[in-house]
């Protein structure tokens, strides 16, 4: 699906061809039964062709069979709940799907026919997705929830993750002259699926690559991310060090990239913290230390002192650069709900840390009193989305919700599979 928008042009070069000789016989013979439904050889052949047209040129019969089994399970779960796809919803789904390739449903169906794919294959594919959304909406989504703490944790992770600015790549470019695209893709797919180490990728580059870098095992020098083509950046950013990309098709070649290393910088203000802490001035360090030993959590301080002393407790939420130096130094080594003492000789402060969080997270929570040193963008910069900027909380909530919903849907599908009667003739 990732290469869907270029798939129609790609279909002419991926060599769909006719099914193998063994498949030409008994095409409508059931291959596997799923509960009360069967999957035939013909359906598998059609699904292979369909997935290849959608930009997965190396789809195998086994992979197509697995997807058809999953579709049978989705349809079975929908029937149990009385969920059906109306003709109107299916037509909307066909139109929406075809629009991703800049076509109408009729135009897309004609393109399928030119590759030997029946319209019903397209319709069944869309229908299974529609009823499955209905099943997920009934059984999975009501159980999915995203807490404010999860949003804070995700934003904190993003703040603490460097923004990648440079990458250290290796490349492998396999020539794919007209008529040999399939062989090139087969080699590239085999390399990618083997999950090669950097040394193994270098060996493959020396063997197969036609690029000048082949002698060096495909190794390139450090390159700024901004110098890469915009269409390539998402592919590169999706890779962690040690990972190899999926094969990429370009005119006359198939390309693989291997990430050897990456470097980046934290976004402005990412190292700053905002501390929620309490202080209480006391007569001596020993008195403060004795009280600190009795405290277990932040609000416990109010319960451990007299009402008169409780009124003297100061609780503040400040960025590090706003906290008095001696207290800030003490807080730097403390964990949440930990108490300590700042000794002034003739008096002492009991200091208790309640929480700490990145200043950028605090400044995005609606508290305009939090001071950070990162400069605010001017009007011109504000008009352009910043790659260094943090998403708003609702965007993160939606992203986390979708992530958890997809995981829950996959788990439910696995449960359906475990409970199903799946047999072969």
Q: How far apart are CA 129 and CA 125, in angstroms?
A: 7
- Mean pLDDT for 286-293 is 95
Per-residue pLDDT of 343-374, as tens digits, reads 998 999 999 999 988 878 776 554 444 344 34
Q: How far apart are CA 293 and CA 304, in angstroms?
A: 11
168: three-class secondary structure by DSSP: strand
Asked if 398 and 137 count as a contact pair (C-beta separation under 8 A), the reply is no
pLDDT at 9 over 80: no
CATH class of 273-363: alpha beta
Q: How far apart are CA 233 and CA 226, in angstroms?
A: 8
Q: Of 220-234, 253-267, 380-394, where does mean pLDDT reach its minimum? A: 380-394
Six token digits for residue 358? 């990145």
CATH architecture of 163-265: Roll (3.10)
Per-residue pLDDT of 12-71, as tens digits, reads 333 344 444 444 457 788 999 999 889 999 999 999 999 988 877 778 899 999 999 999
- 163-265 and 273-363 in the same fold: yes
pLDDT for res 270: 75
Asked if 97 and 1 count as a contact pair (C-beta separation under 8 A), the reply is no
In angstroms, the Cα distances linking 138 to 131, 156, 401 are 11, 32, 15
Domain spans in the chain, listed from the N-terminal domain onward:
30-142, 163-265, 273-363
pLDDT for res 150: 94
pLDDT for res 11: 37
In angstroms, the Cα distances linking 364 to 8, 21, 64, 394 are 44, 63, 46, 12
pLDDT for res 271: 77
Q: How far apart are CA 57 and CA 332, in angstroms?
A: 55
Per-residue pLDDT of 270-279, as tens digits, reads 778 889 999 9
Q: How far apart are CA 129 and CA 23, in angstroms?
A: 28
In angstroms, the Cα distances linking 197 to 201, 221, 254 are 6, 18, 20
Categorize the per-residue pLDDT at 384 as very low, low, confident or very high, splitting at 50, 70 and 90: very low
What single DSSP character describes residue 180?
-
Asked if 420 and 39 count as a contact pair (C-beta separation under 8 A), the reply is no
Residue 261's region, left for phi above 0, alpha for psi from -120 to 50, else beta, is beta
pLDDT for res 101: 83
Domain 30-142 is classified in which CATH homologous superfamily? Answer: Porin chaperone SurA, peptide-binding domain (1.10.4030.10)
pLDDT for res 268: 74
How much of the chain exceeds pLDDT 90, in percent? 68
Six token digits for residue 401? 């919700």
Sign of CA dihedral 412, 415, 419, 425: positive
In angstroms, the Cα distances linking 302 to 94, 284, 290, 316, 390 are 64, 19, 15, 15, 36
pLDDT for res 18: 44
pLDDT for res 115: 87
Q: How far apart are CA 408 and CA 415, in angstroms?
A: 10
Residue 35: partners with Cβ closer than 8 Å, 6 or more residues away: 72, 73, 76, 420, 421, 422
Residue 63: partners with Cβ closer than 8 Å, 6 or more residues away: 51
Q: How far apart are CA 375 and CA 395, in angstroms?
A: 23
Asked if 128 and 50 count as a contact pair (C-beta separation under 8 A), the reply is no
pLDDT at 377 over 70: no
Per-residue pLDDT of 306-343, as tens digits, reads 999 999 999 999 988 899 999 999 999 999 999 999 99
Asked if 390 and 360 count as a contact pair (C-beta separation under 8 A), the reply is yes
* Measured CA angle at 164 (ends 159, 170), to 5 deg: 150
Place of tokens 């992203």: 399
Per-residue pLDDT of 118-134, as tens digits, reads 999 999 999 999 999 99
pLDDT for res 389: 65
pLDDT at 74 over 90: yes
């Amino acid at each position: 699906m990732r290469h869907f928008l270029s798939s129609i042009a790609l279909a002419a070069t991926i060599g769909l061809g006719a099914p193998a000789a063994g498949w030409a016989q008994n095409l409508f013979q059931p291959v596997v039964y799923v509960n009360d439904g069967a999957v035939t050889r013909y359906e598998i052949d059609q699904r292979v062709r369909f997935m290849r047209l959608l930009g997965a040129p190396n789809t195998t019969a086994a992979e197509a069979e697995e997807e058809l089994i999953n579709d049978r399970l989705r349809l079975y779960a929908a029937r149990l709940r009385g969920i059906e796809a109306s003709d109107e919803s299916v037509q909307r789904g066909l139109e929406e799907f075809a629009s991703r390739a800049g076509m109408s449903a009729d135009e897309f169906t004609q393109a399928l026919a030119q590759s030997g794919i029946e319209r019903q294959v397209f319709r069944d594919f869309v229908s299974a997705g529609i009823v499955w959304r209905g099943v997920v909406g009934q059984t999975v989504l009501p159980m999915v929830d995203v807490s404010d703490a999860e949003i804070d944790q995700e934003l904190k992770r993003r703040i603490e993750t460097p923004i990648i600015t440079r990458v250290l790549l290796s490349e492998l470019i396999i020539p794919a002259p007209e008529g040999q695209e399939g062989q090139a893709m087969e080699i590239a797919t085999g390399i990618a699926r083997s999950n090669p180490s950097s040394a193994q990728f270098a060996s493959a580059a020396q063997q197969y690559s036609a690029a000048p870098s082949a002698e060096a095992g495909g190794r390139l020098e450090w390159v700024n991310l901004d110098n890469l083509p915009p269409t390539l950046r998402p592919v590169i950013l999706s890779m962690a060090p040690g990972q190899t990309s999926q094969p990429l098709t370009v005119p006359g070649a198939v390309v693989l990239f291997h990430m050897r290393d990456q470097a980046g910088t934290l976004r402005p203000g990412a190292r700053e913290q905002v501390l929620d802490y309490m202080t209480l001035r006391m007569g001596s360090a020993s008195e403060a230390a004795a009280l600190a030993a009795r405290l277990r959590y932040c609000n416990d301080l109010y319960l451990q002192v007299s009402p008169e002393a409780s009124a003297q407790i100061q609780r503040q939420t400040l960025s590090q650069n706003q906290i008095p130096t001696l207290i800030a130094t003490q807080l730097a080594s403390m964990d949440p709900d930990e108490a300590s003492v700042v000794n002034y000789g003739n008096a002492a402060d009991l200091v208790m840390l309640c929480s700490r969080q990145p200043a950028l997270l605090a400044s995005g929570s609606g508290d305009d009193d939090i001071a950070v040193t990162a400069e605010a963008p001017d009007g011109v910069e504000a008009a352009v989305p910043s790659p260094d900027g943090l998403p708003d909380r609702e965007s993160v909530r939606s992203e986390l919700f979708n992530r958890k919903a997809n995981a829950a849907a996959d788990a439910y599908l696995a449960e359906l599979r475990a409970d199903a009667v799946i047999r072969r003739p």
